[in-house]
Amino acid sequence: MPEKVTQIPKTPNILVIWGDDIGINNLSCYSHGVMGYRTPNIDRLAKEGMMFTDSYGEQSCTAGRASFITGQSGYRTGLTKVGVPGSPIGLSPEDPTVAELLKPL
């Protein structure tokens, strides 16, 4: 039988799973069932896709989310501490987002 040929998609297929207060060992694809939870669906996605083993986390959720959305450090966005609802500090309209940059692809 001929080998199955995988076609490369024309557009990127990106899935982001975002969770608060989750560690790498909470996912069974990383901990190999030694600790954490059983996450069979995430394990399947990890097996079929790409896994990242090196990461850095910001010191607050606001800084981390802003960094992820823009690809910029908290010092560049000015969002280094936990944000307060209604605060005048936030992302500027000029700050590009990863989603905006990927959309043309």
The mean per-residue pLDDT over the stretch 32-51 comes to 88
48 and 77 in a single domain? The answer is: no
- pLDDT at residue number 85: 81
Greater model confidence, 30 or 33:
30
- pLDDT at residue number 4: 67
49 and 81 in a single domain? The answer is: no
Q: In the structure, what pLDDT confidence band is assigned to residue 88 with cuts at 50, 70 and 90?
A: confident
pTM for the whole thing? 0.67
- pLDDT at residue number 44: 94
The mean per-residue pLDDT over the stretch 51-80 comes to 86
State how many domains the chain has: 2
45 and 82 in a single domain? The answer is: no
Give the residue numbers spanning the domain of 31. 1-55
Compute and round to an integer the Cα radius of gyration of the chain.
18
- Alpha carbons 47 and 68: distance in angstroms, whole number: 24
Say if residues 31 and 25 touch (Cβ distance below 8 Å).
yes
43 and 14 in a single domain? The answer is: yes
- Alpha carbons 70 and 13: distance in angstroms, whole number: 19
- Alpha carbons 51 and 56: distance in angstroms, whole number: 15
66 and 42 in a single domain? The answer is: no
* Residue 99 backbone dihedrals phi, psi, to 5 degrees: -60, -45
**Which residue from 54, 57, 48 is spatially nearest to 18, judged by alpha carbons?**
57
7 and 34 in a single domain? The answer is: yes
